[in-house]
Structure 1
Amino acid sequence: MTVTTRAVWTAVLSAVVAAAAALDAYGDLPLTAVAGALVLLLATGWAPLLRLPAQGGTTVVVALAGLGAVAVAWATEGEPVLRNVPLVLAMALVLAFVAEMLRRGGRPRLVESVSGTVTGAVVAVCCSGWVAAGRSEAGASLVVVSALGLAVAAAVSATPVARGWVGSLVGVALGAVVAGGAATLLPSIDPVSGLVAGAVTGLVVAVLRLLFERQPALTSRRAVLAAVTAPVAVGGILVFVVGRLVLA
Protein backbone atom coordinates (compact mmCIF):
# COMPACT_ATOMS: atom_id res chain seq x y z
CA MET A 1 0.00 0.00 0.00
CA THR A 2 1.44 3.37 -1.01
CA VAL A 3 2.00 6.41 1.20
CA THR A 4 -0.99 8.14 -0.39
CA THR A 5 -3.37 5.27 0.29
CA ARG A 6 -2.17 4.97 3.88
CA ALA A 7 -2.82 8.68 4.41
CA VAL A 8 -6.37 8.28 3.13
CA TRP A 9 -7.06 5.45 5.56
CA THR A 10 -5.63 7.50 8.41
CA ALA A 11 -8.08 10.25 7.48
CA VAL A 12 -10.93 7.71 7.49
CA LEU A 13 -10.01 6.45 10.97
CA SER A 14 -9.85 10.03 12.24
CA ALA A 15 -13.32 10.70 10.83
CA VAL A 16 -14.62 7.62 12.62
CA VAL A 17 -13.24 8.97 15.92
CA ALA A 18 -14.98 12.30 15.29
CA ALA A 19 -18.25 10.53 14.47
CA ALA A 20 -18.05 8.43 17.64
CA ALA A 21 -17.48 11.53 19.76
CA ALA A 22 -20.44 13.23 18.09
CA LEU A 23 -22.67 10.44 19.40
CA ASP A 24 -22.41 11.90 22.89
CA ALA A 25 -26.14 11.27 23.39
CA TYR A 26 -25.12 7.66 24.03
CA GLY A 27 -22.45 8.66 26.55
CA ASP A 28 -18.79 7.82 26.04
CA LEU A 29 -19.35 4.18 25.04
CA PRO A 30 -19.08 4.81 21.25
CA LEU A 31 -15.79 6.68 21.67
CA THR A 32 -14.48 4.01 24.04
CA ALA A 33 -15.39 1.27 21.56
CA VAL A 34 -13.59 3.09 18.74
CA ALA A 35 -10.53 3.59 20.95
CA GLY A 36 -10.51 -0.14 21.66
CA ALA A 37 -10.77 -0.89 17.95
CA LEU A 38 -7.77 1.38 17.30
CA VAL A 39 -5.79 -0.62 19.85
CA LEU A 40 -6.62 -3.91 18.11
CA LEU A 41 -5.64 -2.54 14.69
CA LEU A 42 -2.36 -1.24 16.07
CA ALA A 43 -1.58 -4.46 17.95
CA THR A 44 -2.30 -6.59 14.89
CA GLY A 45 0.27 -4.82 12.75
CA TRP A 46 2.88 -3.46 15.15
CA ALA A 47 5.23 -6.45 15.16
CA PRO A 48 5.20 -6.86 11.34
CA LEU A 49 5.70 -3.10 10.95
CA LEU A 50 8.92 -3.22 12.98
CA ARG A 51 9.81 -6.74 11.77
CA LEU A 52 10.14 -7.99 15.32
CA PRO A 53 11.23 -11.61 15.88
CA ALA A 54 8.55 -12.67 18.41
CA GLN A 55 5.44 -11.34 16.73
CA GLY A 56 2.89 -13.34 18.71
CA GLY A 57 4.12 -12.16 22.11
CA THR A 58 4.39 -8.57 20.94
CA THR A 59 0.84 -8.58 19.61
CA VAL A 60 -0.56 -9.90 22.89
CA VAL A 61 1.37 -7.41 25.05
CA VAL A 62 0.45 -4.41 22.90
CA ALA A 63 -3.21 -5.42 22.80
CA LEU A 64 -3.44 -6.02 26.55
CA ALA A 65 -1.71 -2.72 27.34
CA GLY A 66 -3.93 -0.67 25.03
CA LEU A 67 -7.21 -2.34 25.94
CA GLY A 68 -6.33 -2.18 29.63
CA ALA A 69 -5.61 1.54 29.42
CA VAL A 70 -8.83 2.25 27.51
CA ALA A 71 -10.86 0.21 30.00
CA VAL A 72 -9.23 1.91 32.99
CA ALA A 73 -9.83 5.37 31.52
CA TRP A 74 -13.49 4.50 30.87
CA ALA A 75 -14.02 3.06 34.37
CA THR A 76 -12.23 5.82 36.30
CA GLU A 77 -14.50 8.37 37.92
CA GLY A 78 -13.36 11.89 38.76
CA GLU A 79 -10.17 13.69 37.89
CA PRO A 80 -7.59 12.97 36.63
CA VAL A 81 -9.13 10.37 34.34
CA LEU A 82 -5.77 8.82 33.44
CA ARG A 83 -4.45 8.55 36.99
CA ASN A 84 -4.45 4.72 36.87
CA VAL A 85 -3.05 4.39 33.34
CA PRO A 86 0.64 4.50 34.50
CA LEU A 87 -0.06 1.29 36.43
CA VAL A 88 -1.28 -0.34 33.22
CA LEU A 89 1.86 0.78 31.42
CA ALA A 90 4.04 -0.57 34.22
CA MET A 91 2.33 -3.94 33.99
CA ALA A 92 2.83 -3.89 30.22
CA LEU A 93 6.55 -3.43 30.78
CA VAL A 94 6.58 -6.52 33.03
CA LEU A 95 4.59 -8.47 30.44
CA ALA A 96 7.09 -7.52 27.75
CA PHE A 97 9.88 -9.18 29.73
CA VAL A 98 7.68 -12.19 30.55
CA ALA A 99 6.96 -12.61 26.84
CA GLU A 100 10.69 -12.61 26.12
CA MET A 101 11.34 -15.20 28.82
CA LEU A 102 8.75 -17.47 27.21
CA ARG A 103 10.55 -17.33 23.87
CA ARG A 104 12.51 -20.34 22.68
CA GLY A 105 15.33 -20.86 20.24
CA GLY A 106 18.01 -18.68 21.82
CA ARG A 107 16.00 -15.44 21.87
CA PRO A 108 17.67 -13.70 18.87
CA ARG A 109 17.51 -9.89 18.65
CA LEU A 110 16.45 -9.72 22.28
CA VAL A 111 16.99 -5.98 22.83
CA GLU A 112 15.22 -5.08 19.59
CA SER A 113 12.27 -7.29 20.51
CA VAL A 114 11.88 -5.85 24.03
CA SER A 115 12.24 -2.22 22.94
CA GLY A 116 9.83 -2.69 20.04
CA THR A 117 7.22 -4.34 22.26
CA VAL A 118 7.46 -1.64 24.91
CA THR A 119 7.21 1.09 22.28
CA GLY A 120 4.11 -0.53 20.83
CA ALA A 121 2.57 -0.75 24.29
CA VAL A 122 3.17 2.98 24.84
CA VAL A 123 1.55 3.88 21.50
CA ALA A 124 -1.42 1.62 22.26
CA VAL A 125 -1.87 3.19 25.70
CA CYS A 126 -2.08 6.59 23.97
CA CYS A 127 -5.48 5.52 22.58
CA SER A 128 -6.92 6.01 26.06
CA GLY A 129 -6.30 9.74 25.58
CA TRP A 130 -9.35 9.94 23.31
CA VAL A 131 -11.55 8.62 26.11
CA ALA A 132 -9.98 11.00 28.60
CA ALA A 133 -10.35 13.95 26.21
CA GLY A 134 -14.02 13.11 25.83
CA ARG A 135 -14.39 13.53 29.59
CA SER A 136 -12.53 16.83 29.73
CA GLU A 137 -14.12 20.24 30.16
CA ALA A 138 -14.65 20.62 26.43
CA GLY A 139 -15.79 17.01 26.17
CA ALA A 140 -16.96 15.72 22.81
CA SER A 141 -16.35 19.10 21.16
CA LEU A 142 -12.61 18.82 21.79
CA VAL A 143 -12.48 15.31 20.36
CA VAL A 144 -14.51 16.25 17.28
CA VAL A 145 -12.43 19.29 16.30
CA SER A 146 -9.14 17.48 16.99
CA ALA A 147 -10.13 14.42 14.98
CA LEU A 148 -11.33 16.63 12.12
CA GLY A 149 -8.02 18.48 12.12
CA LEU A 150 -6.17 15.17 12.04
CA ALA A 151 -8.37 13.89 9.20
CA VAL A 152 -7.80 17.02 7.11
CA ALA A 153 -4.03 16.94 7.67
CA ALA A 154 -3.93 13.28 6.65
CA ALA A 155 -6.09 13.91 3.58
CA VAL A 156 -3.87 16.78 2.47
CA SER A 157 -0.77 14.61 2.89
CA ALA A 158 -2.33 12.19 0.39
CA THR A 159 -2.33 14.79 -2.39
CA PRO A 160 0.53 14.94 -4.92
CA VAL A 161 1.55 18.46 -3.84
CA ALA A 162 2.15 17.41 -0.22
CA ARG A 163 5.75 16.31 -0.45
CA GLY A 164 8.48 16.93 2.10
CA TRP A 165 8.34 19.40 4.97
CA VAL A 166 6.59 22.14 3.01
CA GLY A 167 3.68 19.92 2.01
CA SER A 168 3.43 18.55 5.55
CA LEU A 169 3.29 22.06 7.02
CA VAL A 170 0.52 22.95 4.57
CA GLY A 171 -1.44 19.97 5.89
CA VAL A 172 -0.84 21.12 9.47
CA ALA A 173 -2.04 24.63 8.67
CA LEU A 174 -5.18 23.45 6.90
CA GLY A 175 -5.96 20.99 9.66
CA ALA A 176 -5.65 23.75 12.24
CA VAL A 177 -7.90 26.08 10.24
CA VAL A 178 -10.59 23.44 9.82
CA ALA A 179 -10.45 22.54 13.51
CA GLY A 180 -10.68 26.20 14.48
CA GLY A 181 -13.61 26.70 12.15
CA ALA A 182 -15.41 23.66 13.52
CA ALA A 183 -14.90 24.99 17.05
CA THR A 184 -17.05 28.02 16.18
CA LEU A 185 -19.97 25.67 15.55
CA LEU A 186 -19.62 23.54 18.66
CA PRO A 187 -20.25 24.29 22.33
CA SER A 188 -17.68 24.15 25.16
CA ILE A 189 -14.70 25.05 22.99
CA ASP A 190 -13.43 28.32 21.54
CA PRO A 191 -11.83 28.78 18.09
CA VAL A 192 -8.34 29.36 19.50
CA SER A 193 -8.43 26.08 21.41
CA GLY A 194 -9.72 24.33 18.30
CA LEU A 195 -6.91 25.88 16.27
CA VAL A 196 -4.29 24.63 18.73
CA ALA A 197 -5.80 21.14 18.88
CA GLY A 198 -5.92 20.91 15.09
CA ALA A 199 -2.32 22.06 14.78
CA VAL A 200 -1.11 19.47 17.29
CA THR A 201 -2.87 16.56 15.63
CA GLY A 202 -1.71 17.81 12.23
CA LEU A 203 1.88 17.78 13.46
CA VAL A 204 1.46 14.16 14.51
CA VAL A 205 0.39 13.27 10.98
CA ALA A 206 3.28 15.23 9.46
CA VAL A 207 5.96 13.68 11.67
CA LEU A 208 4.76 10.09 11.29
CA ARG A 209 4.26 10.55 7.56
CA LEU A 210 7.88 11.59 7.16
CA LEU A 211 8.91 8.70 9.42
CA PHE A 212 7.08 6.10 7.34
CA GLU A 213 7.95 7.72 4.01
CA ARG A 214 11.07 5.55 3.85
CA GLN A 215 8.69 2.60 3.55
CA PRO A 216 6.67 3.81 0.55
CA ALA A 217 5.00 0.46 -0.14
CA LEU A 218 4.55 -1.81 2.87
CA THR A 219 4.14 -5.37 1.65
CA SER A 220 2.50 -6.79 4.78
CA ARG A 221 -1.18 -5.98 5.22
CA ARG A 222 -0.82 -6.27 8.98
CA ALA A 223 2.00 -3.74 8.96
CA VAL A 224 -0.19 -1.34 7.00
CA LEU A 225 -2.82 -1.52 9.75
CA ALA A 226 -0.32 -0.25 12.31
CA ALA A 227 1.05 2.41 9.96
CA VAL A 228 -2.36 3.96 9.31
CA THR A 229 -3.48 3.68 12.95
CA ALA A 230 -0.39 5.04 14.69
CA PRO A 231 -1.08 8.77 13.99
CA VAL A 232 -4.63 8.45 15.33
CA ALA A 233 -3.47 6.54 18.40
CA VAL A 234 -0.71 9.00 19.31
CA GLY A 235 -3.04 11.91 18.64
CA GLY A 236 -5.33 10.74 21.44
CA ILE A 237 -2.96 11.46 24.30
CA LEU A 238 -1.81 14.74 22.76
CA VAL A 239 -5.40 15.95 22.41
CA PHE A 240 -5.94 15.18 26.10
CA VAL A 241 -2.83 17.18 26.99
CA VAL A 242 -4.03 20.11 24.86
CA GLY A 243 -7.36 19.99 26.65
CA ARG A 244 -5.66 20.09 30.04
CA LEU A 245 -3.30 22.93 29.15
CA VAL A 246 -5.37 25.15 26.90
CA LEU A 247 -8.79 24.69 28.45
CA ALA A 248 -7.68 24.52 32.09
Structure 2
Amino acid sequence: MQLSSRAVSTAVLAALVAVAGYLGDTSLGELPLVAVVGVLALAFAFGWPVLVNLPSRPGSTAVIALGGVGAVWAVHRTAGDPLLRHLPVVFAFAVLLAFVNELLRGGGRERLVESVSGTVAGTLVAVAAAGWVATQRTVGGEGLVIAGALALAVGSAVAALPLRSWAGAGATTASALAAGALAGLVLPGLDARAGVLLGLAVGVLVAALRQLFDRLPALDRFPATLAAIVLPVTVTGTLVYVAGRVLVG
Protein backbone atom coordinates (compact mmCIF):
# COMPACT_ATOMS: atom_id res chain seq x y z
CA MET A 1 0.00 0.00 0.00
CA GLN A 2 1.34 3.44 -0.94
CA LEU A 3 2.13 6.13 1.62
CA SER A 4 -0.88 8.20 0.54
CA SER A 5 -3.27 5.29 1.07
CA ARG A 6 -1.80 4.50 4.49
CA ALA A 7 -2.04 8.14 5.56
CA VAL A 8 -5.66 8.41 4.48
CA SER A 9 -6.47 5.15 6.29
CA THR A 10 -4.90 6.54 9.47
CA ALA A 11 -7.00 9.69 9.06
CA VAL A 12 -10.16 7.57 8.80
CA LEU A 13 -9.28 5.67 11.97
CA ALA A 14 -8.58 8.92 13.79
CA ALA A 15 -11.96 10.24 12.69
CA LEU A 16 -13.53 7.05 14.04
CA VAL A 17 -11.89 7.69 17.42
CA ALA A 18 -13.29 11.25 17.34
CA VAL A 19 -16.79 9.92 16.70
CA ALA A 20 -16.45 7.37 19.50
CA GLY A 21 -15.29 10.16 21.81
CA TYR A 22 -18.28 12.29 20.85
CA LEU A 23 -20.60 9.41 21.74
CA GLY A 24 -19.22 9.54 25.27
CA ASP A 25 -21.79 12.21 26.03
CA THR A 26 -24.65 9.83 25.21
CA SER A 27 -26.16 6.97 27.18
CA LEU A 28 -23.48 4.66 25.78
CA GLY A 29 -20.81 6.39 27.83
CA GLU A 30 -17.22 5.47 27.08
CA LEU A 31 -18.05 1.99 25.75
CA PRO A 32 -17.79 2.99 22.05
CA LEU A 33 -14.33 4.44 22.62
CA VAL A 34 -13.25 1.40 24.65
CA ALA A 35 -14.41 -0.89 21.84
CA VAL A 36 -12.71 1.12 19.08
CA VAL A 37 -9.43 1.45 20.95
CA GLY A 38 -9.46 -2.23 21.90
CA VAL A 39 -9.90 -3.28 18.28
CA LEU A 40 -7.09 -0.95 17.22
CA ALA A 41 -4.79 -2.53 19.81
CA LEU A 42 -5.61 -5.99 18.42
CA ALA A 43 -5.01 -4.84 14.85
CA PHE A 44 -1.66 -3.38 15.82
CA ALA A 45 -0.68 -6.60 17.63
CA PHE A 46 -1.48 -8.58 14.48
CA GLY A 47 0.78 -6.50 12.25
CA TRP A 48 3.68 -5.31 14.42
CA PRO A 49 5.72 -8.56 14.40
CA VAL A 50 5.60 -8.54 10.60
CA LEU A 51 6.44 -4.84 10.37
CA VAL A 52 9.66 -5.24 12.39
CA ASN A 53 10.34 -8.84 11.27
CA LEU A 54 10.22 -10.58 14.64
CA PRO A 55 11.17 -14.27 14.62
CA SER A 56 8.30 -15.51 16.83
CA ARG A 57 5.29 -13.83 15.27
CA PRO A 58 2.35 -15.77 16.81
CA GLY A 59 3.79 -15.50 20.31
CA SER A 60 4.68 -11.83 19.95
CA THR A 61 1.22 -11.06 18.61
CA ALA A 62 -0.38 -12.79 21.61
CA VAL A 63 1.79 -10.88 24.10
CA ILE A 64 1.15 -7.50 22.46
CA ALA A 65 -2.59 -8.17 22.16
CA LEU A 66 -2.91 -9.14 25.82
CA GLY A 67 -0.94 -6.08 26.89
CA GLY A 68 -2.93 -3.66 24.73
CA VAL A 69 -6.40 -4.99 25.47
CA GLY A 70 -5.51 -5.49 29.13
CA ALA A 71 -4.41 -1.86 29.41
CA VAL A 72 -7.60 -0.57 27.81
CA TRP A 73 -9.74 -2.69 30.09
CA ALA A 74 -7.72 -1.72 33.18
CA VAL A 75 -8.19 2.00 32.50
CA HIS A 76 -11.88 1.47 31.77
CA ARG A 77 -12.35 -0.26 35.13
CA THR A 78 -10.19 2.14 37.17
CA ALA A 79 -12.16 4.40 39.50
CA GLY A 80 -10.69 7.74 40.50
CA ASP A 81 -7.33 9.36 39.84
CA PRO A 82 -4.71 8.53 38.79
CA LEU A 83 -6.42 6.77 35.92
CA LEU A 84 -3.22 5.17 34.61
CA ARG A 85 -2.09 3.74 37.94
CA HIS A 86 -2.64 0.13 36.86
CA LEU A 87 -0.79 0.43 33.54
CA PRO A 88 2.66 -0.32 35.03
CA VAL A 89 1.27 -3.61 36.38
CA VAL A 90 -0.24 -4.52 33.01
CA PHE A 91 2.96 -3.64 31.18
CA ALA A 92 5.15 -5.54 33.66
CA PHE A 93 2.96 -8.61 33.23
CA ALA A 94 3.28 -8.29 29.44
CA VAL A 95 7.10 -8.07 29.74
CA LEU A 96 7.03 -11.26 31.78
CA LEU A 97 4.93 -12.90 29.06
CA ALA A 98 7.49 -11.78 26.48
CA PHE A 99 10.14 -13.83 28.28
CA VAL A 100 7.75 -16.78 28.62
CA ASN A 101 7.19 -16.54 24.89
CA GLU A 102 10.94 -16.92 24.33
CA LEU A 103 11.10 -19.93 26.63
CA LEU A 104 8.41 -21.61 24.54
CA ARG A 105 10.25 -20.98 21.27
CA GLY A 106 12.05 -23.78 19.50
CA GLY A 107 14.88 -23.76 16.98
CA GLY A 108 17.63 -22.50 19.25
CA ARG A 109 15.94 -19.15 19.98
CA GLU A 110 17.82 -17.25 17.31
CA ARG A 111 17.72 -13.42 17.45
CA LEU A 112 16.67 -13.62 21.09
CA VAL A 113 17.45 -10.01 22.03
CA GLU A 114 15.74 -8.69 18.90
CA SER A 115 12.67 -10.78 19.61
CA VAL A 116 12.32 -9.67 23.24
CA SER A 117 13.01 -6.00 22.56
CA GLY A 118 10.68 -5.91 19.56
CA THR A 119 7.86 -7.58 21.49
CA VAL A 120 8.28 -5.26 24.47
CA ALA A 121 8.39 -2.18 22.21
CA GLY A 122 5.21 -3.29 20.44
CA THR A 123 3.52 -3.88 23.78
CA LEU A 124 4.42 -0.37 24.90
CA VAL A 125 2.78 1.09 21.78
CA ALA A 126 -0.34 -1.03 22.26
CA VAL A 127 -0.58 -0.04 25.95
CA ALA A 128 -0.35 3.63 24.94
CA ALA A 129 -3.74 3.28 23.22
CA ALA A 130 -5.37 3.19 26.66
CA GLY A 131 -4.61 6.90 26.92
CA TRP A 132 -7.65 7.64 24.76
CA VAL A 133 -9.94 6.05 27.35
CA ALA A 134 -8.18 7.82 30.21
CA THR A 135 -8.46 11.15 28.40
CA GLN A 136 -12.21 10.88 28.02
CA ARG A 137 -12.57 10.43 31.78
CA THR A 138 -10.66 13.61 32.69
CA VAL A 139 -11.99 17.15 33.03
CA GLY A 140 -12.96 18.31 29.53
CA GLY A 141 -12.08 14.83 28.32
CA GLU A 142 -14.59 14.60 25.50
CA GLY A 143 -13.25 17.78 23.91
CA LEU A 144 -9.67 16.57 24.32
CA VAL A 145 -10.40 13.27 22.58
CA ILE A 146 -12.14 15.01 19.69
CA ALA A 147 -9.43 17.68 19.39
CA GLY A 148 -6.58 15.17 19.49
CA ALA A 149 -8.25 12.81 17.05
CA LEU A 150 -9.18 15.69 14.72
CA ALA A 151 -5.59 16.99 14.69
CA LEU A 152 -4.38 13.44 13.99
CA ALA A 153 -6.91 12.97 11.17
CA VAL A 154 -6.06 16.27 9.47
CA GLY A 155 -2.32 15.81 9.89
CA SER A 156 -2.48 12.27 8.52
CA ALA A 157 -4.57 13.39 5.54
CA VAL A 158 -2.05 16.13 4.68
CA ALA A 159 0.77 13.58 5.05
CA ALA A 160 -0.75 11.82 2.05
CA LEU A 161 0.18 14.73 -0.22
CA PRO A 162 3.18 14.12 -2.54
CA LEU A 163 5.52 16.60 -0.85
CA ARG A 164 9.26 16.32 -0.24
CA SER A 165 10.40 15.19 3.21
CA TRP A 166 10.85 18.55 4.97
CA ALA A 167 8.00 20.21 3.13
CA GLY A 168 5.75 17.28 3.95
CA ALA A 169 6.75 17.35 7.62
CA GLY A 170 6.10 21.09 7.81
CA ALA A 171 2.72 20.83 6.11
CA THR A 172 1.71 17.91 8.32
CA THR A 173 2.66 19.73 11.51
CA ALA A 174 1.07 23.01 10.45
CA SER A 175 -2.21 21.37 9.44
CA ALA A 176 -2.46 19.42 12.70
CA LEU A 177 -1.70 22.62 14.62
CA ALA A 178 -4.45 24.48 12.74
CA ALA A 179 -6.93 21.67 13.36
CA GLY A 180 -6.08 21.65 17.06
CA ALA A 181 -6.47 25.42 17.28
CA LEU A 182 -9.85 25.29 15.58
CA ALA A 183 -11.00 22.53 17.91
CA GLY A 184 -9.80 24.56 20.89
CA LEU A 185 -11.93 27.49 19.79
CA VAL A 186 -15.06 25.46 19.13
CA LEU A 187 -15.13 22.68 21.70
CA PRO A 188 -16.20 23.32 25.31
CA GLY A 189 -13.57 22.98 28.01
CA LEU A 190 -10.69 23.93 25.69
CA ASP A 191 -9.12 27.14 24.49
CA ALA A 192 -7.05 28.10 21.46
CA ARG A 193 -3.74 27.85 23.35
CA ALA A 194 -4.43 24.31 24.48
CA GLY A 195 -5.62 23.37 21.00
CA VAL A 196 -2.51 24.83 19.35
CA LEU A 197 -0.11 23.00 21.65
CA LEU A 198 -2.01 19.75 21.36
CA GLY A 199 -2.16 20.03 17.56
CA LEU A 200 1.55 20.84 17.42
CA ALA A 201 2.47 17.77 19.48
CA VAL A 202 0.28 15.50 17.36
CA GLY A 203 1.60 17.00 14.11
CA VAL A 204 5.24 16.47 15.09
CA LEU A 205 4.42 12.88 16.05
CA VAL A 206 2.69 12.14 12.73
CA ALA A 207 5.53 13.70 10.72
CA ALA A 208 8.16 11.74 12.67
CA LEU A 209 6.35 8.42 12.28
CA ARG A 210 5.99 9.03 8.56
CA GLN A 211 9.77 9.42 8.18
CA LEU A 212 10.45 6.47 10.47
CA PHE A 213 8.29 3.86 8.74
CA ASP A 214 7.95 5.14 5.18
CA ARG A 215 10.75 3.05 3.64
CA LEU A 216 10.55 -0.21 5.57
CA PRO A 217 10.63 -3.13 3.09
CA ALA A 218 8.03 -5.07 5.08
CA LEU A 219 5.31 -2.56 4.09
CA ASP A 220 4.50 -4.56 0.96
CA ARG A 221 2.75 -7.09 3.24
CA PHE A 222 -0.74 -6.48 4.57
CA PRO A 223 -0.11 -7.13 8.31
CA ALA A 224 2.83 -4.71 8.30
CA THR A 225 0.78 -2.09 6.47
CA LEU A 226 -2.02 -2.51 9.00
CA ALA A 227 0.38 -1.91 11.90
CA ALA A 228 1.82 1.20 10.21
CA ILE A 229 -1.71 2.55 9.72
CA VAL A 230 -2.81 1.93 13.31
CA LEU A 231 0.42 2.91 15.09
CA PRO A 232 -0.08 6.72 14.99
CA VAL A 233 -3.56 6.34 16.48
CA THR A 234 -2.42 4.10 19.35
CA VAL A 235 0.61 6.21 20.27
CA THR A 236 -1.38 9.45 20.20
CA GLY A 237 -3.67 8.18 22.96
CA THR A 238 -1.17 8.67 25.77
CA LEU A 239 0.19 11.83 24.15
CA VAL A 240 -3.26 13.43 24.23
CA TYR A 241 -3.79 12.31 27.82
CA VAL A 242 -0.51 13.81 29.03
CA ALA A 243 -1.05 17.02 27.07
CA GLY A 244 -4.57 17.28 28.44
CA ARG A 245 -3.44 16.89 32.04
CA VAL A 246 -0.85 19.64 31.56
CA LEU A 247 -2.96 22.06 29.51
CA VAL A 248 -6.47 21.51 30.88
CA GLY A 249 -6.01 19.80 34.24
TM-score by length of 1: 0.97
Query: Which residue does 1:190 correspond to in 2?
Result: 191
Residue 204 of structure 2 is aligned to residue 203 of structure 1: yes
Cα pair 1:35 1:128 within 8 Å, conserved: yes
RMSD across aligned C-alpha pairs, in angstroms? 1.1
Partner of 2:109, secondary structure, is coil
- State the Cα distance separating 1:165 from its structure 2 match: 2.2
AA aligned to 2:176 is G
The whole-number CA distance in structure 2 between the counterparts of 1:212 and 1:83 is 31
- State the Cα distance separating 1:166 from its structure 2 match: 2.6
- State the Cα distance separating 1:65 from its structure 2 match: 0.2
TM-score by length of 2: 0.97
Residue 77 of structure 2 is aligned to residue 78 of structure 1: no
Higher alpha-carbon deviation: 211-220 or 7-16? 211-220
Cα pair 1:39 1:66 within 8 Å, conserved: yes
The whole-number CA distance in structure 1 between the counterparts of 2:96 and 2:223 is 25
Cα pair 1:65 1:88 within 8 Å, conserved: yes
List structure 1 segments (4+ residues) > 4 angstroms apart after TM superposition.
none
The whole-number CA distance in structure 2 between the counterparts of 1:41 and 1:222 is 8
Deviations 1:124-163 (A, max 9, x none): 00000000111111111000011000111110010113x2
The whole-number CA distance in structure 2 between the counterparts of 1:216 and 1:190 is 42
Query: Which residue does 1:51 correspond to in 2?
Result: 53
Partner of 2:68, secondary structure, is helix
Number of positions where the alignment pairs a residue of Structure 1 with one of Structure 2 = 247
Deviations 1:170-213 (A, max 9, x none): 21111111121122221111121111111111111111100012
- State the Cα distance separating 1:86 from its structure 2 match: 0.5
Cα pair 1:2 1:217 within 8 Å, conserved: no
The whole-number CA distance in structure 1 between the counterparts of 2:206 and 2:218 is 18
Q: Which runs of 5+ in 1 are unaligned?
A: none
Quote the sequence identity (%). Answer: 49
The whole-number CA distance in structure 2 between the counterparts of 1:201 and 1:237 is 11
Residue 184 of structure 2 is aligned to residue 172 of structure 1: no
Query: Which residue does 1:22 correspond to in 2?
Result: 22
Cα pair 1:3 1:216 within 8 Å, conserved: no
Partner of 2:108, secondary structure, is coil
Deviations 1:66-118 (A, max 9, x none): 00000000000100100111100000110000000000111111111000000
Query: Which residue does 2:214 correspond to in 1?
Result: 213
